[in-house]
Amino acid sequence: MEYESGKARRHETKNSLKVWGIVLGFLFLAGVGAATWISSGPTGWGFAERLRGAVMFYVFSREPNFYFLDGEKNGEGFVLKKGDVFELSYRDEFVFKKVSTDVLSARGISVDIHGIGSSNDLHKLLKGVDLVDRAVWSEKGKRLEKGFGESSISISYKGRVIASIPVKILITPQDWLRYAERSSKNTIKIDYLKRALALNAKDVNLRRTLASAYFKAGMTKEALEQYKVILRLKPNDGPALSALAKCYLKIGRYDEALEAAARSVKINAGEGNVLVDLAAAWAGSGNWEKAISSYREYLKVRPDDPAVLYKLGAAYQKAGELDLAVQQYKKILQKVPNADDVKLALADVFLKKEDFGGAIKLYRDVLKSQPHNAAVYANLGFAYGKKGMHSEEIACYREAIRFKPGDPVIHFNLAAALETAQKPTEAAKEYEKVLKLKADDYEALTRLADIRFMEKNYRSASLLYEKALKKNPREAQIHTRLGLCYFEMKQPDRAEKSWEKAVQLGEDNPEVIAGLAGSYLRTGNKKKATLLYAKIAARKPTAELLDKLAALYLDDKNYDQALATYKRLVKLSPKRGYSGAGYVYGLKGDTQQQIAYYKMALKYDSEDYDIYAKLGAAYEKQGLLKEALQAYTVAYQLNPDAEQVGRNIPRIKIMLLRQKH
């Protein structure tokens, strides 16, 4: 073990001697050129520091240090050290001439200014304008609000960055104007114009250019503000007034559009287009008569302008002057026979006039030049449907879907047409497609639910009704139908809640009321059932409803209300009303009125044995035995199976004999 250890120590000593030999050799060689190397750059680094850096790099393979970058800009020399910032504008031309590091030969050293040039820009002539352009186009104004852009110079050794110097790219007003003039993209152009305008706020032409760029970009409110400033600077600027009117029209501020257009008409007396703006302003405010007048005035100057002829036709259409609209559109078609937009507008007028044949002809004509137009197929289908040509209607909707499969409206119209054609299964499939495209479509939900209900698929129907109620929770009929689903699914509690909600929202269908009241009765809530029957009876009384309501009053021993209800029943069912009232009078102990009402009931049905039996009992209470015997006898003759009535007859006869003797 000792021998091995000693051997290791001898090996280490040998390596150390080797390292020191390399160092001494390097120092000897470095001494020759060190003074020249160190003195060739700017002051700030001592001989010892530079020498130590070189030793660390060459002997110990440490990363080389960067000391300075020497260059020339616009004919003048410059030196950049760590911590310096290099400033550039679009006018500058520059070159990096020399870089000082610990690498004496400069082999493997590269200088790269990011954004322009190549991977090594040393000894290459570079232009600031390239860097300015690069900064503006890459930043797109995000960080250029400070008036400058940013880049950096990287000094690298064998691809590894050993130092970085920030570059400040100065953006001048001339740059913004230059970029605005050559930019084709509105949003970028607007940004450049804003920067240029900030330097000359009273330049009307520049502001007009900015306003126009805003308008083209859809930034109407911003354009509006610029035109207002122009008019403050130049109150009678005709083009600005006309443009201002267009801005107001676009955002629907028709009163202000009218004011601007009227001023524009006065200033631009010979300019016909301002009349079109004025007409559009009148149209926007709903004054179609004045809109028509303005369009006509314009057409006196330019009678063959197809665009304004079309707008006049549309104004007639909006004003309800359908015959004049037809004449106008036909006039355009004489001048421009292939104007499909005019044909479609005329077809719409024909639909309103219920000239479905005329509309069909025009739609089919348009399809010759636009065979893939889904909207035209859809409108043609609608026209066929109005004529009752459902096969053709369905075929057109299917063609429309072929060219526009993702349109939920067309799928819905097809589904409705299939329903009309008594094809509920196919209709259901189309409604399902509607819901895939538009999950919360209320009409599709309810119609599909109705089909499922008719198919007795109550589970599916209930889920669809529930979704529909999330969309429209105050629809009484949907609550009613949902209650019916729950009832059929043997869920009376849920059915009851749905019907309660339906009644609260105004449902007055007697069958629904009866269903809810029956639900109350099944659960033993007679009070709620009575109140419900009373509520609906006050609005829509029926004989069955009043009969049930009176029975509930009787069950609760509320004889006065029962009597009043039976008397109301007399108007709808006289026999039942009089008979019921007579029974209540009997319970109240008023046999005289009881007898009178039973007699009235028998006028409407002289063969009702039950009323005769009750009349006999009432006579008997009054002590009128002969009348009682007669009533019992008739009752027994009408129904010999009435054993109790049969036993009453001999009993009354015995009572009469006793009374006689």
148-157: strand order across its sheet: 86-88, 160-170, 148-157, 109-113
For residues 384-404, average pLDDT: 96
Q: What is the pLDDT of residue 509?
A: 79
Share of the chain above pLDDT 70, in %: 90
Identify which of 201, 101, 195 has the alpha carbon closest to the alpha carbon of residue 154. 101
In this predicted structure, the answer to whether residue 22 has a pLDDT above a threshold of 70 is no
Least confident of 71-80, 225-234, 384-393, 528-537: 528-537
In this predicted structure, the answer to whether residue 529 has a pLDDT above a threshold of 80 is yes
Distances (CA, A) of 223 to 207, 226, 249, 635: 9, 5, 13, 97
Q: What share of the chain is helix, strand, coil (3-state, %, to 5)?
A: 70, 10, 20
| CA 242/CA 212 separation, integer angstroms | 12
Q: What is the pLDDT of residue 540?
A: 81
Q: What is the pLDDT of residue 126?
A: 93
Q: How many helices (H) and strands (E) does the chain have?
A: 32, 8
Q: Which two tokens stand for residue 35?
A: 């003074």
In this predicted structure, the answer to whether residue 375 has a pLDDT above a threshold of 60 is yes
How far apart, in Å, do the first and last CA atoms of the chain sit?
A: 158
In this predicted structure, the answer to whether residue 163 has a pLDDT above a threshold of 80 is yes
Q: What is the pLDDT of residue 17?
A: 46
Number of Cα atoms under 13 Å in the Cβ half of residue 575: 11
| CA 398/CA 362 separation, integer angstroms | 19
Q: What is the pLDDT of residue 42?
A: 58
In this predicted structure, the answer to whether residue 271 has a pLDDT above a threshold of 80 is no
CATH fold of the domain at 350-421: 1.25.40
In this predicted structure, the answer to whether residue 282 has a pLDDT above a threshold of 70 is yes
Domain ranges of the chain: 41-171, 350-421
Residue 37 Ramachandran class (φ > 0 left, ψ -120 to 50 alpha, else beta): alpha
Are 418 and 426 contacting, i.e. CB atoms less than 8 angstroms apart? yes
DSSP state of 142: S
In this predicted structure, the answer to whether residue 5 has a pLDDT above a threshold of 50 is no
Distances (CA, A) of 243 to 174, 223, 277: 28, 9, 9
Q: Which residue has the tokens 């035209």?
A: 376
Q: Which two tokens stand for residue 658?
A: 């006793």
What single letter denotes the amino acid at residue 105? S
Are 540 and 552 contacting, i.e. CB atoms less than 8 angstroms apart? no
Q: Mean pLDDT for the chain?
A: 87
Q: What is the pLDDT of residue 144?
A: 56
Are 77 and 44 contacting, i.e. CB atoms less than 8 angstroms apart? no
Model pLDDT for residues 396-436, shown as the tens digit of each residue: 999 999 999 999 999 999 999 999 999 999 999 999 999 99
In this predicted structure, the answer to whether residue 29 has a pLDDT above a threshold of 50 is no
Taking CA 473 as the corner, what is the angle to CA 467 and CA 474, rounded to the nearest 5 degrees?
145
Least confident of 261-270, 497-506, 634-643: 261-270
Q: Which two tokens stand for residue 113?
A: 């200014």
pLDDT band at 176 (very low <50, low <70, confident <90, very high): confident
pLDDT band at 145 (very low <50, low <70, confident <90, very high): low
| CA 272/CA 270 separation, integer angstroms | 6
Share of the chain above pLDDT 90, in %: 59
In this predicted structure, the answer to whether residue 4 has a pLDDT above a threshold of 50 is no
Number of C-beta neighbours around residue 129 at 10 A: 17
pLDDT band at 9 (very low <50, low <70, confident <90, very high): very low
